[in-house]
């Protein structure tokens, strides 16, 4: 495979890009299966999704984040521009810090969620699930700001799990143990041809101790090699998207396209969700001034929401994927399951579900209709479910600084 210039998209040559880590992924990918994550090839499972899941919970797993959409926002008006678009007060995200946010249309419906990296004064990176360049550009009117998509300009890996900090220390990142959650730092990284900048943020999508590493694509393979050499005695394992899906559901993290439909993709307006309907009301700051969707969200706060996203603890051991949720003891649909799994850590069948109001208060009991297949025969079970308030995985090590040296 010839070298790809990621800085200049060769659309005439590539329908889908190999990741900068592709050669190393090929070495680990025993299943030989590939899937597409927007412009890139991605691995669903390198060997066994369950084993990769356990690496993320008991040792550390490495996930290729390169396909995640990245936008760069810079210029004198970068801060007021972002504060106008985001529901949260971006002024509170100081340089060297990362913040989670959502952004909405004028009707207060979520366009996407993502993380805001405050790289320096007037310089931000936004990482999200969906391509948003057109929308960001449309909203630059009146602001002295530059918006660029830099997805192809940055290679990224997520290193997640209890031994992740120890691996980075063994790799030579001095002082990494002092990085606090949602903090970021830049390190000199040896490439064999001199040093380059390696940015590390204490962020992730697993609800556990973990870091994300950001580097120039031409040094991607060297970073992969250094990580796996440093982690050989700490249980490091390549991790695919199927394992990451299990980890994020346990942590209660939502995913665009699964737990909510991005407002820019919706044909029917009733199929979208507001921050309040996704349990993200804490991200809405009405005190900061004008922002997209503010009036609609104020009215919703006063009049009430249509839906509520909840966490369900379900009887039995069958995952309730794509199931209907019924009012207990009645043939009345209360909502649908958006994400579900059997949780090895919680030892329970768990799910995220979108319910019509007023359903979904903590402690409420519901019925979930689950279909499953055994030896080509379909079975149906009506399982009891309870709405729970806490996420299913939230270990103290996620916030501990410095982390324990596993």
Mind listing the pLDDT tens digit for each residue in 4-61? 454 455 544 567 899 999 999 999 999 999 999 988 999 999 999 999 999 999 999 9
Asked if 321 and 337 touch (Cβ cutoff 8 Å), the reply is yes
Instruction: Tell me what pLDDT residue 12 has.
Output: 46
Q: Which residue from 287, 272, 305, 254 is spatially nearest to 88, judged by alpha carbons?
A: 287
What is the largest distance, in Å, between two alpha-carbon atoms of the chain? 68
- List, for residues 294-318, the tens digit of each pLDDT value: 999 999 999 999 999 999 999 999 9
- List, for residues 149-181, the tens digit of each pLDDT value: 999 999 999 999 999 999 999 999 999 999 999
> Where do the domains of the chain lie, and which CATH numbers do they carry?
22-66+154-239 (3.30.1360.120), 69-144 (3.30.70.1400), 306-393 (2.40.30.110)
pTM of the model: 0.94
Q: Does the pLDDT at position 83 exceed 50?
A: yes
Instruction: Tell me what pLDDT residue 10 has.
Output: 52
Asked if 214 and 199 touch (Cβ cutoff 8 Å), the reply is yes
Instruction: Tell me what pLDDT residue 14 has.
Output: 63
Distances from the Cα of 308 to the Cα of 161, 238, 275, 293, 331, angstroms: 30, 35, 10, 19, 20
Q: Does the pLDDT at position 340 exceed 70?
A: yes
Cis peptide before 358 (omega within 30 of 0): yes
Q: Does the pLDDT at position 97 exceed 70?
A: yes
Q: Per-residue confidence at 3, pLDDT binned at 50, 70, 90?
A: very low
DSSP secondary structure letter of residue 404? P
Instruction: Tell me what pLDDT residue 15 has.
Output: 77
Instruction: Tell me what pLDDT residue 406 has.
Output: 81
Q: Per-residue confidence at 194, pLDDT binned at 50, 70, 90?
A: confident
Residue with tokens 């804490």: 282
Strands 155-160 and 60-64: antiparallel
Lowest mean pLDDT among 130-134, 204-208, 249-253, 275-279: 130-134
CA–CA gap between residue 65 and residue 346 (Å, rounded): 26
- List, for residues 203-257, the tens digit of each pLDDT value: 999 999 999 999 999 999 999 999 999 999 999 999 999 999 999 999 999 999 9
Q: What mean pLDDT value characterizes the chain?
A: 95
Instruction: Tell me what pLDDT residue 4 has.
Output: 47
Both tokens of 4, joined, read 């790809």
- Backbone CA torsion sign across 225, 69, 7, 43: positive
Please give the helix or strand (H or E) that residue 308 lies within, else none: strand 307-314
Query: First CA to last CA across the chain, in angstroms?
Result: 39
């Amino acid at each position: 495979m010839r070298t790809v210039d990621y800085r200049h998209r060769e659309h005439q040559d590539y329908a889908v890009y190999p990741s900068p880590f592709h050669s190393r992924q090929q070495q680990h990918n025993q299943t030989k299966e590939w899937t597409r994550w927007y412009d890139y090839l991605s691995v669903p499972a390198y060997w066994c999704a369950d084993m990769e899941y356990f690496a993320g919970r008991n040792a550390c797993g490495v996930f290729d984040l390169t396909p995640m959409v990245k936008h760069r926002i810079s210029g004198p008006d970068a801060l007021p521009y972002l504060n106008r678009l985001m529901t949260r007060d971006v002024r509170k995200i100081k340089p060297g810090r990362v913040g989670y946010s959502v952004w909405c249309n004028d009707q207060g419906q979520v366009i996407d969620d993502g993380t805001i990296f405050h790289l320096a004064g007037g310089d931000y990176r936004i990482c999200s699930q969906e391509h948003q360049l057109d929308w960001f550009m449309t909203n630059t009117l009146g602001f002295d700001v530059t918006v660029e998509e830099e997805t192809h300009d940055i290679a990224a890996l997520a290193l997640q799990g209890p031994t992740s900090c120890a691996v980075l220390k063994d790799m030579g990142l001095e002082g990494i143990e002092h990085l606090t959650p949602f903090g970021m730092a830049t390190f000199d990284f040896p490439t064999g041809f001199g040093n380059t900048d390696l940015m590390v943020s204490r962020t992730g999508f697993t609800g556990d101790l973990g870091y994300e590493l950001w580097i120039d694509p031409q040094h991607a393979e060297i970073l992969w090699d250094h990580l796996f050499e440093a982690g050989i005695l700490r249980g490091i394992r390549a991790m695919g998207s199927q394992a990451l899906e299990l980890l994020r559901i346990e942590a209660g993290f939502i995913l665009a396209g699964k737990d909510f439909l991005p407002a820019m993709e919706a044909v029917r307006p009733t199929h979208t969700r507001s921050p309040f309907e996704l349990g993200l009301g804490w991200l809405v700051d009405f005190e900061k001034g004008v922002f997209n969707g503010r009036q609609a969200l104020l009215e919703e706060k006063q009049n009430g929401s249509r839906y509520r996203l909840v966490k369900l603890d379900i009887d039995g051991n069958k995952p309730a994927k794509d199931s209907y949720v019924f009012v207990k003891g009645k043939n009345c649909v209360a909502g649908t399951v958006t994400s579900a799994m059997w949780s090895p850590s919680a030892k329970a069948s768990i799910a995220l579900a979108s319910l019509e109001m007023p359903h979904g208060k903590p402690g409420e009991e519901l019925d979930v209709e689950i279909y499953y297949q055994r030896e080509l025969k379909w079975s149906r079970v009506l399982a009891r479910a309870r709405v729970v308030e806490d996420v299913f995985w939230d270990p103290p090590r996620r916030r501990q600084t410095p982390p324990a040296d596993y």
